[in-house]
Structure 1
Amino acid sequence: MPEIGPEPEPQPQPVSESVPVAEPEAAPVAAPVAKRPRGRTALLIAAAAVLGIAGGTAVGYDVQAGRAPTPLPALSQPDLAYPAKALPAGKVPDPLPASQDRRVRTGGDLRKLLADRPAGWSDDDGSVPGFGDGWLGVDTYARSYKEEGPMYEYFLEYDIRRIAGATWKRGQYRTAETYLVQFGSGTVQGAQDFAEGQLSYMSGTEIGAGNDGDAIKGSGNGRYYLYEVDRKPGYLPSYHARATVYRGDIAADIHIYDTAPISKKDIRTLAERQLERL
């Protein structure tokens, strides 16, 4: 067998001088990006905002200065008390007499502000459980409402002070109830909120009278209502009328019940008589 020798080393091939060898192109390098000076821009924006506010304020003052003075609205405070006669010029006013000072009137015995019993009626102290000498507890009064729990919490939240009342009867079935609900004299207008809250749902049919009622003359905020008759099998028909009004820190809540129809005059008369005492 022929002897196998080492393989010859490969020889470099000659390169023609006329063909240039291309060098690999370098990858493009992105130009450096300078960071935006945030601090300077923020200062410019803040300065512009300050100048804008100052400029707007100056323009506003200039416009207001060129306008005619606007008169203030008239004060509407029906509960302010004044002397019956005007005092001579330069004389220092004396304290209001108790008959004209509302705080003395409402701060005394609240039962004295209840309207007198009308002619033809008699006292009916046993018709409302819980009445004692003309006073009624907050919990007892709250139970007269459909939602007694929320009403009790409402009275406590709105700083209820005390409740005075009177009950009368006429004939066999007609009864009348008058409640004076007094609230504290704090920042919350308790009597106004209570009365307006009651009036707000009276036009509804679920727990209200189902009508808009009529205004109590001279009150500016009170109304009286006649409910639809309530008929149930086996029972006499039930008629109901109600009036609600407030003055100062006292809200008056008046009801008439009967098995015969109640006229608007019946409830209006009781409401007007009670309003005169407040």
Structure 2
Amino acid sequence: MQHEQTASELREQTTANGAGTGRRGRRTALLIAGGAALGILAGTVTGYAVQYGRPPTPLPPLAQQKLKAPKALAPDAGTTRETVNANRRHKTDGDISKLLVETPGGAKALGAGYQSLDVFAVGFEQPDKALSSFAEDGVRRIAATAWSQDDRVFVDVRLIQFRDRTGADAYQHAQAELMPRKEYAGNPGVAIPGTPADLGHVWVDSEADQKPGYHPVRGARAIARRGDIVMEIDYFDNRGKVAESDVVDLAKRQLERL
């Protein structure tokens, strides 16, 4: 099947190119003059490097404002598993932007909504290949939210929904294979509690990015799959300190909403 071939090609590109479609956030975080703000090249909602300090730019509304979905099934002891699966489909077939974790109290919201596939692909080392792979593997839509705290911590959360689990599985595993490499996190990371290690993981960069005249920037990343949705979190601290527990807690809270 064409879809299966594309999923396989994604893994092959990742291995052959050392990140053919890999995220480039690990080593290409942009530093703003004075070290007061951090820009993520693949800025989900606002384009931090340009928009930081300006009012957040709202994303355009959904083309279909009122999505119709079947009613959730009532609990039935005889069909518990089927009921759970049906209710989950009911949740994820609706407006998945409502499933995004809320901006923490005291944080500065940078925007939330849906992100186009071409904008998402810009954050990869080979955008053209990434865009082609995502289209073939069946990315349905991407919901995203972002915030900053104290001009120091910058967080970018995405829910990437595929047409089925095959594409989601291929993407999640390909990204997870990249993260332990030296040019990315450089360590094996930790599993997200309550999630199989091969389906949910958090990595904090072993080393901070340091450049003369700027604060050291350390990044962290969480990746997990639940059904046909891949959750991604990019987390940066422009003082070079990231508590692994903070990223794990955020990942757990986001997964609980799926």
Q: Give the TM-score of the pair, scaled to structure 2.
A: 0.65
Q: Secondary structure at the match of 1:124?
A: strand
Kindly indicate whether structure 1 or structure 2 has the higher relative contact order, using CA contacts under 8 Å at least 6 residues apart. 2
Q: 1:119 aligns with which of 95, 105, 116?
A: 105
Letter in 2 for 1:191: A
Return the alpha-carbon distance in structure 2 between the equivalents of residues 119 and 212 of structure 1. 31
Pick the structure with greater CA Rg. 1
Q: 1:226 aligns with which of 200, 204, 223?
A: 204
Gapped runs of 5+ residues in structure 1? Answer: 1-80, 126-132
Return the alpha-carbon distance in structure 2 between the equivalents of residues 249 and 214 of structure 1. 22
**Structure 1 residue 236: deviation in Å?**
2.1
Who is 2:182 aligned against?
A: 205
Return the alpha-carbon distance in structure 2 between the equivalents of residues 105 and 224 of structure 1. 25
Is the 2:203–2:221 contact (alpha carbons within 8 Å) kept by the matching residues of 1? yes
Who is 2:173 aligned against?
A: 196
Is the 2:121–2:127 contact (alpha carbons within 8 Å) kept by the matching residues of 1? yes
Return the alpha-carbon distance in structure 2 between the equivalents of residues 177 and 192 of structure 1. 21
Return the alpha-carbon distance in structure 1 between the equivalents of residues 159 and 238 of structure 2. 25
Return the alpha-carbon distance in structure 2 between the equivalents of residues 216 and 164 of structure 1. 21
Give the percent of matched residue pairs that are identical in Structure 1 and Structure 2.
Answer: 35
**Structure 1 residue 118: deviation in Å?**
2.4
Tell me the number of residue pairs that the alignment of Structure 1 and Structure 2 aligns. Answer: 182
Higher helix fraction (1 or 2): 2
Return the alpha-carbon distance in structure 2 between the equivalents of residues 170 and 259 of structure 1. 11
> Is 1:272–2:222 an aligned residue pair?
no
CA RMSD, 1 decimal: 2.4
Gapped runs of 5+ residues in structure 2? Answer: 1-71
Letter in 2 for 1:223: H
Q: Secondary structure at the match of 1:134?
A: strand
**Structure 1 residue 82: deviation in Å?**
8.9
Give 1:1-278 correspondences, 5 Å limit. 84=75, 86-87=77-78, 96=83, 101-125=87-111, 134-185=113-164, 189-206=166-183, 208-220=184-196, 221-227=199-205, 228-260=207-239, 261-278=241-258
Return the alpha-carbon distance in structure 2 between the equivalents of residues 100 and 276 of structure 1. 17
Report the CA distance shift for 1:241/1:162 in structure 2 as closer, same or farther (over 3 A).
same
Who is 1:69 aligned against?
A: none
Q: Secondary structure at the match of 1:203?
A: coil
Is the 1:219–1:275 contact (alpha carbons within 8 Å) kept by the matching residues of 2? no
Higher strand fraction (1 or 2): 2
Letter in 1 for 2:247: I
Is the 2:155–2:235 contact (alpha carbons within 8 Å) kept by the matching residues of 1? yes
Per-residue CA deviations over 1:45-75 (Å, capped at 9, x if unaligned) read xxxxxxxxxxxxxxxxxxxxxxxxxxxxxxx
Return the alpha-carbon distance in structure 2 between the equivalents of residues 110 and 273 of structure 1. 15
Return the alpha-carbon distance in structure 2 between the equivalents of residues 82 and 245 of structure 1. 26
